[in-house]
Structure 1
């Protein structure tokens, strides 16, 4: 399908004037464009394929409208294919493709890089081209290639938390880049937590062995971690602490379990609000500063509030289905 035809069909679709045959052509274009790679949402109620397409089309509509607003009079329209960012995720994932335009034959050559942003209230699972699996915590941002062509399988955790289950390939090490350290493995499972707002980066190993190199000390030998070991890098002082890890809780968050280690109640309440789509109002602001270590499963909201109130000695009231008042 030519780019002009694709743009015409997309505009008719959004205007509500597309025939069933034209809608089918647009669906076929979507299936052809996004064939060959899969992202899976690790949630109890994933979106179906039709919902994914509808979301992609809405994103396409915004881009077409933006293109119209930015386009000066009597200027040849830019090809729709050049401004599209292929999207194929089953959550509200932001996926950016990077393109090079080859004018000689009017073809678009994709550079196989994707940037994925997990929704603010869901954990998602990504299947990489080598068979490795990555779980992204809610709100995390991750960059990876569609295929691994070089000697090193390189990905980047731009922000957030991810659990990696990496397929072993002796001659092709797997490299995870963060904003202050790199993690190199051959094949293992490990957790990386790298929120810039927290001022620290943590790497915890579940199986196998990993090597850690610090970006501010590139000439130093790698710090080696074995199973049940972890390091925490303070991004301000650059101090690195190595310790034993609690293997049982490293990747519980991948299973939709809330795990908190000496976390402020303020952040605990925020996580609960997102998971249960509720609003927690706290009258005693000093309570928000108290810290707690706790693992919360898939209990009912009132059960979780009962556990927290007993642990931290506060009272609460379930005002309605969407509001909890803490005193």
Structure 2
């Protein structure tokens, strides 16, 4: 299978961290040549057939993002170009945030069921050692089918549970925080500026963020921290990605560095 190269991929089993960080400085680059060494490193990862005992955060070729729970597997193609349908196969549990494309429906195959969406966010649980599949929608609308039979069209906070030995399905309203508890502590920074990331850090760790250089705010990056991580770990990784330094004093995080060239 093909491999994709990420400018940074850091995994720490001991801290239960999975980080995928990609420099996406669309509006400019650093104005200094002394970049952190990690920025130039590449780590190859299996992209077509992704399975891991740890949780994973993935960005598919169309921009769709997926958080895979431990022990889950996702199969997807190298590219969705030249096809009329975006199709993937899931074994296990995953939270999908599907990039909208009205002309290319997104289909997830899970055993005998398939879930079709245009652009939405939802959770699917379909582990091979269980006889049931559950689909829960958090945003938008999805259609769940068995063969050519439509089982349900789900809207936000609705869940379908399909059990193999019973022909009927259970369709109910659910408590979304309970369903998504397995990923509640994730800190996802997908194509954000440091200024936008600061808002997430403030909300998570209850500390204010102050920028010592206005140019830092526009530095754009992608990083995913799965499970609740210590603030020092998060700041250390962000520093490696963006070339910034941090100092915490009186409940304020001070961020400094050269920033990005265009502002």
Kindly report structure 1 stretches of 4+ aligned residues shifted beyond 6 Å: 36-42, 47-52
Higher strand proportion (structure 1 or 2): 2
Determine which structure has more spread, i.e. the larger CA radius of gyration. Answer: 1
Q: Does the C-alpha gap of structure 1 residues 255 and 298 become closer, same or farther in structure 2, counting only changes over 3 Å? A: same
Residue of structure 1 equivalent to 2:155: 226
Q: Does the C-alpha gap of structure 1 residues 166 and 40 become closer, same or farther in structure 2, counting only changes over 3 Å? A: farther
Separation of aligned partners in 2, 1:252 and 1:203: 15
* Contact 1:37–1:129, Cα closer than 8 Å, also in 2: no
The secondary structure found in structure 1 opposite 2:182 is: helix
Separation of aligned partners in 2, 1:39 and 1:233: 39
Separation of aligned partners in 2, 1:246 and 1:40: 34
Give CA-to-partner distance per residue, 1:77-129, whole Å, 9 cap, x none.
xxxxxxxxxxx33xxxxx37xxxxxxxxxxxxxxxxx11102x2x21111011
* Contact 1:161–1:192, Cα closer than 8 Å, also in 2: yes
Separation of aligned partners in 2, 1:40 and 1:238: 44
What does residue range 68-79 of structure 1 map to in structure 2 within 5 Å? none
What does residue range 272-291 of structure 1 map to in structure 2 within 5 Å? none
Separation of aligned partners in 1, 2:116 and 2:176: 20
What does residue range 81-92 of structure 1 map to in structure 2 within 5 Å? 88-89=44-45
The secondary structure found in structure 2 opposite 1:147 is: coil
Separation of aligned partners in 1, 2:55 and 2:99: 21
Out of 174, 178, 189, the residue aligned to residue 249 of structure 1 is: 178
Superposition RMSD in Å: 3.1
Give CA-to-partner distance per residue, 1:112-167, whole Å, 9 cap, x none.
xx11102x2x211110111110110011011011210211111110x210000001
Residue of structure 2 equivalent to 1:147: 79
Separation of aligned partners in 2, 1:160 and 1:139: 7
Alignment gaps of 5+ in structure 2: 21-37, 187-226, 230-263
Aligned length: 166
Could you state the TM-score of these two structures normalised by the residue count of structure 1? 0.45
1:198 to 2:130 alignment: yes
What does residue range 1-327 of structure 1 map to in structure 2 within 5 Å? 34=3, 44=17, 46=19, 53=43, 88-89=44-45, 95=46, 114-118=48-52, 120=53, 122-149=54-81, 150-157=83-90, 159-215=91-147, 218=148, 220-221=149-150, 223-256=152-185
Residue of structure 2 equivalent to 1:270: none
Alignment gaps of 5+ in structure 1: 1-32, 54-87, 90-94, 97-113, 258-296, 300-327
Separation of aligned partners in 2, 1:253 and 1:41: 21
Separation of aligned partners in 2, 1:208 and 1:197: 29
The secondary structure found in structure 2 opposite 1:198 is: coil
Q: Which has the higher contact order (CA 8 A, sep 6+)?
A: 2
Q: Does the C-alpha gap of structure 1 residues 197 and 35 become closer, same or farther in structure 2, counting only changes over 3 Å? A: closer
* Contact 2:65–2:97, Cα closer than 8 Å, also in 1: yes
